Amino acid sequence: MTFLKNFVNVLSVASISFILLSSVFFIIVYFNLMGGRLKSKGGIGFVVFGAILVVAGLFVRPLLYLGVAYFLVLWALAGLGGRLWDAKVGKWMLIFGGAGFALSLLDGNFFLIAAKPDNVPIAAMIFLLGIFTWIALRKAYYNDQAILAGGIPYEKTESDEKLFTWPDLVYTEMLCMIILTIVMIVWSIGLRAPLEEAANPTSSPNPAKAPWYFLGLQEMLVYFDPWLAGVVLPTLIIVGLMAIPYIDTNPKGNGYYSFRERKWEIGVFLYGFLVLWSFLIITGTFLRGPNWSFYGPYEFWDPNKLEPLVNIDLSELFWVKMLSMPLPKLWLIREAPGLILVMLYLGIAPLLAIGPFRRFYQKMGAARYYVGAYLFLTMLALPIKMVLRWLFNLKYLVHIQEIFLNI
Amino acid sequence: MKPQEPIPHNYSMRTLNLIFALTSIGLLAVTGAMVFYDYVRGWKWFQLEFNRIQQGRIEQELRANNDEAMRKQLAALDKETREGQVEIARHRDRYVAAQKELEEWEGRHYAADQDYRFAKALLDAKRYEVEAAHVQHRADEHQKQREYDELVARLASRNLRLQQVTRDRDAARARVGVFLANIQKVEDRRKELTAKAELLQKQLNSVSFPSANSLILNAPMVDFINPTLKIDQVVLNDLFIEMNYMAVPRVDRCQTCHRAIDRPGFESKKEAERLLTELRTKLDKNLIEPSRRADAEARVAELERTTKASQDILNPFRTHPKLDMFVGSASPHPLLEYGCTACHRGQDRATEFGRAGHTPMSKRMEMRWKKVSFPLFPRTKDYEQRNWGYEVNPFLDTPMYPRQYSEAGCVKCHAGQIDVEGAEKITKATHMVELYGCHACHKIDNWRFSELQKPGPSLEGIAEKTTPEWAYRWIANPSRFRPTTRMPSFFYQRNMVGPAVPPAERAQNVKYQDAEIHSIVTYLFKSSTRRAWSAPTAAGDAARGKELVESIGCMGCHISQDTIKDDKGVVRVAKRDDFPLERHFGFNLVGVGTKTNPNWVFNWVKNPKAYDPLAPMPNLRLSDQEASDITAYLISLQKPRFMQDPMRPPDPKAVRELAKGYLINTMTDRDAEAKLNAMPLRAQLEYLGQRSIEKYGCYSCHDIRGFDGLKPIGTELTIEGSKTLHLFDFGFFGDSTHTHDYGNDDGEKEHVLHTVPSWIYNKVRSPRVYDDRRAKPYNDKLKMPNFHLSPEEAQLVTSVVLGLTKEKVAENRLAARDPRHRASEEGRKLISQSNCRGCHVVNRRGRAIASMIPDPNFLPPDLTPEGPRAQSPWLFNFLKDPTVMKIRPWMRVRMPTFQFTDNQAATLVAGFAAEGNEHQFDTTQFLTPSAQNIAIGREVFTMLRCQQCHSLTQVDPANPPIPNIADTQSLAPNLTLSKIRLRHDWIADWIRRPDEMIPGTRMPTNFPRDPKTGGFQSPLALAMDSPQFAAQKAALLPYFQDETALKKTMGDAVALTNYMRDYIWSIGIDRMRSAGAGESTPQRVPLQPQPTTPPAPATQETRLR
Instruction: Write a three-state SS string for B27-72.
Output: HHHHHHHHHHHHHCCHHHHHHHHHHHHHHHHHHHHHHHHCCHHHHH
Q: Can you give the pLDDT at residue B208?
A: 82
User: Does the structure show a pLDDT above 60 at B391?
Assistant: yes
Count of domains forming chain B: 6
Identify whether A64 is part of a domain.
Answer: yes
Q: What is the pLDDT of residues B142-158, one digit of tens each?
A: 999 999 999 999 999 99
Q: How far apart (Å, rounded) are the C-alpha atoms in residues B516 and B656?
A: 11
Partner-chain contact A182 B26, CB within 8 Å: yes
Does residue B43 sit within a domain? Answer: no
Q: Give residue B2's pLDDT.
A: 58
Which residue segment(s) compose the domain that B359 sits in? 234-408
Query: Looking at the domain assignment, is residue A351 inside a domain?
Result: yes
Top mean-pLDDT range of A1-15, B171-185, B547-561: B547-561
Nearest to A225 by CA among A26, A404, A3: A404
Q: Name every residue whose Cβ is closer than 8 Å to that of residue A353 and which is 6 or more positions away in sequence.
A: A360, A361, A369, A373
* Residues A308, A294: Cα–Cα separation, whole Å: 12
- Confidence grade of residue B131 (pLDDT, cut at 50, 70, 90): very high
Put simply, the answer to whether A202 touches B11 (Cβ < 8 Å) is no
Say if residues B1003 and B950 touch (Cβ distance below 8 Å).
no
Q: Looking at residue B734, what is its pLDDT?
A: 64
Residues B874 and B937 in one domain: yes
Residues B207 and B98 in one domain: yes
**Listed ranges A69-73, A206-210, B213-217, B262-266; the one with the highest mean pLDDT:** A69-73
Distance in angstroms (rounded) separating the CA atoms of residues B453 and B594: 27
Tell me the chain B residues in contact with residue A205 when contact means C-beta distances shorter than 8 Å: 395
Task: Look at residue B225 and tell me if it is in a domain.
Answer: no
Share of chain B above pLDDT 70, in %: 96
Domain endpoint, select from B408, B443, B471: B408
Q: Is residue A371 part of a domain?
A: yes
- Whether residue B914 is contained in a domain is answered as yes
The answer to whether position A388 is within a domain reads yes
| Buried-exposed string B955-984: b where 16+ CB fall within 10 A, e elsewhere | eebeebeebeeeeeeebbbbbbbbbbbbbb
pLDDT at position B1094, please? 41
Calpha distance A244→A371 (Å, rounded):
10
Interface probe with B: pick from A189, A299, A302, most Cβ of B within 10 Å:
A189
Q: What DSSP line would sit under A348-364, residue for residue?
A: HHHHHHHTTTHHHHHHH
Q: What is the average per-residue pLDDT within B749-753?
A: 85
* Interface with B, mutate which of A185, A191, A305 (most B CBs under 10 A): A185
B945: left (phi over 0), alpha (psi -120 to 50) or beta: left
Q: Which residues of A touch B376 (CB under 8 A)?
A: none
Residue B118 touches partner A, C-beta closer than 8 Å: no
Along the 407 residues of chain A, how does pLDDT read in single tens digits? 788 888 888 888 888 999 999 999 999 999 999 888 888 888 999 999 999 999 998 988 888 999 999 999 999 999 998 899 999 999 999 999 999 999 999 988 899 888 888 888 888 889 999 999 999 999 999 999 999 998 888 888 877 777 888 888 899 999 999 999 999 999 888 887 667 777 777 777 888 888 888 888 999 998 998 888 989 999 999 999 999 889 888 888 888 899 999 888 899 999 999 989 999 999 998 999 888 888 989 988 888 888 888 888 999 989 998 899 898 888 899 999 999 999 999 988 888 888 888 888 888 888 899 999 999 999 999 999 999 998 888 999 999 888 888 88
One domain, residues B889 and B978: yes
User: Using the beta-carbon criterion (under 8 Å), do B724 and A202 form an inter-chain contact?
Assistant: yes
Mean pLDDT of chain B: 87
In a shared domain, residues B484 and B593: no
Domain boundary residue, one of A82, A100, A115: A82
The pLDDT of residue B1083 is 47
Interface of B with A in 205-264 (CB under 8 A): 243-245
Q: For residue A1, with 0-12 CB atoms within 10 Å meaning exposed, 13-18 middle and 19 or more buried, which class applies? A: exposed
Question: Angle CA(B796)–CA(B798)–CA(B804) in degrees, nearest 5?
Answer: 110
**pLDDT bracket for residue B490 (50, 70, 90):** very high
Query: Does residue B169 sit in the same domain as residue B145?
Result: yes
- Taking an 8 Å cut-off on Cβ atoms, the answer to whether B7 and A162 are in contact is yes
Rounded Cα distance, A300 and A253, in Å: 48
Q: Is B4 on the interface with A (CB under 8 A)?
A: no
Domain CATH code at residue B583: 1.10.760.10
C-alpha count within 13 angstroms, C-beta hemisphere, residue B266: 19
**Chain B touched by A355 (CB under 8 Å):** no
Number of domains, chain A: 2
| Polymer length in residues for chain B | 1105
B 364-403 near A (Cβ less than 8 A): 393, 395-397
Within a domain: residue B1088? no
Mean pLDDT, range B927-942, rounded to an integer: 88
Average pLDDT over residues B733-749: 68
Structural domain harbouring A390:
310-407
Q: Are B790 and B796 in contact (CB under 8 A)?
A: no
Residues of B within 8 A of A163 (CB-CB) are 7, 9-10
A12: in domain: yes
Residue A272 lies in a domain: no
Q: Are residues B891 and B945 in the same domain?
A: yes
In order of B389, B802, B815, B955, the CA distances from B410 in angstroms are 30, 10, 10, 50
Whether residue B1085 has pLDDT greater than 70: no
Residue A167 lies in a domain: no
Same domain, B953 and B1057: yes
Judge if B882 and B802 occupy the same domain. Answer: no
> B376 and B325 in one domain?
yes
Q: State pLDDT tens for residues B654-669.
A: 999 999 999 999 999 9
In a domain, B863, yes or no: yes
Q: What is the pLDDT of residues A198-210, one digit of tens each?
A: 777 777 788 888 8
| B1080 neighbors B900 (Cβ within 8 angstroms) | yes
Cβ contact, residue pair B24, A178, below 8 Å = yes
ipTM for the complex shown: 0.80
Among residues A22, A50, A82, which one ends one of the domains?
A: A82
Element (H, E) at B1103: helix B1100-1104
Decide if B12 is inside a domain. Answer: no
A151 assigned to some structural domain:
no
| Shared-domain flag, residues B384 and B445 | no
0.80 exceeded by pTM: yes
Claim to verify: residue B732 and residue B746 sit in the same structural domain: yes
The closest of B320, B342, B316, B341 to B331, measured between CA atoms, is B320
Q: Are residues B256 and B398 in the same domain?
A: yes
What per-residue confidence (pLDDT) applies to A305?
A: 83
